[in-house]
Amino acid sequence: MSLFERFKVKKSASSEEPYSPEGPFRSTRGNCFATAPEAVLKGLAPDGGLYVDPDIGKGGFDVQGCLALDPFGQAEKILSRLLPGFDHMDELVAGAYDGRFASSALTPLVPVGEDWVLELFHGPTAAFKDVALCMLPQLMTAARGLTGTEEKTVILTATSGDTGKAALEGFHDVPGTGIIVFFPHGGVSSVQEAQMLTQVGANVAVCAVRGNFDDCQSAVKQVFSDPPSVAGVSLSSANSINIGRLAPQVVYYFLAYAELMKRGRISFGERVDYVVPTGNFGDILAGWYAKQLGLPVGRLVCASNANRVLTDFLTTGVYDRRREFFKTNSPSMDILVSSNLERLLYYAAGGDTQAVKNDMLRLQNSGYYKIPAGALDYIRKDFSAFCCDEKQTLLEIRRCFEATGYLPDTHTAVALHAAGQYKKERSSGAPVVVLSTASPFKFPEAVLRALGETPEGDAFAQMEQLSRVSGIDAPASLSGLRGKEILHRDVIDRAEISDYVRRKLSEV
């Protein structure tokens, strides 16, 4: 019996009441409501908003009991709380993670100097997105059964580098689904591009877009707001605008805290600070969700690269995308419109969906918005923000490697630099956990230059060179890309995205 059939049968056998569209999730922009399975399937609310749980912080979650479980047990408990309505969450978790991660810990915690690095890149694509995007296909297939959805679900996703491959890896050849991925042409690393362009699967399409990630993301959102009408097909998203993508990311905050307890570094109840490299604000928002569940999270430190729109917002309360866009060595953070911030705005506004809608319209039409002082105070109660330019990023990679022997990627280096800045200002002595979001071998050219080396040859030659220099083996999932056939060659303008989707819906 397939996963779809199992959950469909389970629902029909146990449900005495007719299926109701009402549920615990509502849109950030209005009165669109959904159950967890519906929210996972839809991705984006019909009014363009993001689904949130208004009661996320109302307690009732056994944090201490959860921390005592193994990684799979913690994931099951957390996801059951965040996404109510899914039967047999333990089976979904096992299907997502069992045998797919290089470490039994899923996300190992490594001491680096006086801090800790949470390695999120031990999944099949060597990036933090694997934790969520191994889980999302399980959730989506189960959701189709629970809601009685017979039509095909096509995943429509924009990526700044890592989401695309992780989503393709998770959804390729999954029955009842298709996936279309857009990425900025020339705006991802050579390794990230190779990961996507060599992706196999009868139900996948990959397309480069002339422009940056924001161009891709805004065009994809427009397709969701005015979807092409194709019989038997519905759209969903694998970006963190989908609550089913965001919820699994909460798990590794718990895993890090549990590991610090296990090592005797903290006792339950002591606070831990987390430093997160972020562009679309999903990874750090997951930490805020963990805090709402009751995890003793101290400060959440937002680390931005030269595209410092989040640093400026968290400092001033003004979100302004009317600025120069920089292509950096940390391309997954090259974003000026951070979609997940909308969820935090909802809570900061006390659930005032009209205020959120007005801000999003102002951002769309005028390029900026400003939140009230009270809302900014609400956000700054939990968040700090620092940024790191290109020179500082490369210097941080070299400093870290020479001082500790630990080799960070370009995104992790941004976070390590922010951690250093943060610790100069803070008054507490809480442990600091830096989230490491990708393997350094995804960005070999930049990392080699940071170490004072002259990169040689193509990306695969550079991976070998970096391995020699560092004494670290490249992940097989990356080195194994060499020689793979390029299967996707489409390159289009931003204005062509809607037509491209329409053509591909019947193919994937």
Q: What is the pLDDT of residue 8?
A: 61
- Least confident range from 12-26, 180-194, 270-284, 470-484: namely 12-26
Query: Which three-class secondary structure string do you get for 270-300?
Result: CCEEEEEECCCCHHHHHHHHHHHHCCCEEEE
- 21 pLDDT more than 90: no
Catalytic residues: 129
More confident residue, 240 or 309: 309
The pLDDT tens digits of the residues spanning 122-136 come to 999 999 999 999 999
Which of 145-149, 231-235, 366-370 shows the highest mean pLDDT?
366-370
- 10 pLDDT more than 60: no
Residue-wise DSSP of 399-453: HHHHHHS----HHHHHHHHHHHHHHHH-S----EEEEE-B-GGGSHHHHHHHTT-
Which pLDDT band holds residue 22 (cuts at 50, 70, 90)? low
- 101 pLDDT more than 90: yes
Q: What is the pLDDT of residue 196?
A: 96
Q: What is the pLDDT of residue 5?
A: 58
Going by C-alpha positions, the residue among 123, 134, 42, 126 that lies closest to residue 93 is 134
- Least confident range from 11-25, 397-411, 461-475: namely 11-25
- 88 pLDDT more than 80: yes
Give me the domains of the chain, ranges plus CATH numbers: 109-124+246-471 (3.40.50.1100)
> From edge to edge, which strands make up the β-sheet containing 490-493?
233-236, 152-158, 177-184, 204-210, 490-493
Which pLDDT band holds residue 3 (cuts at 50, 70, 90)? low
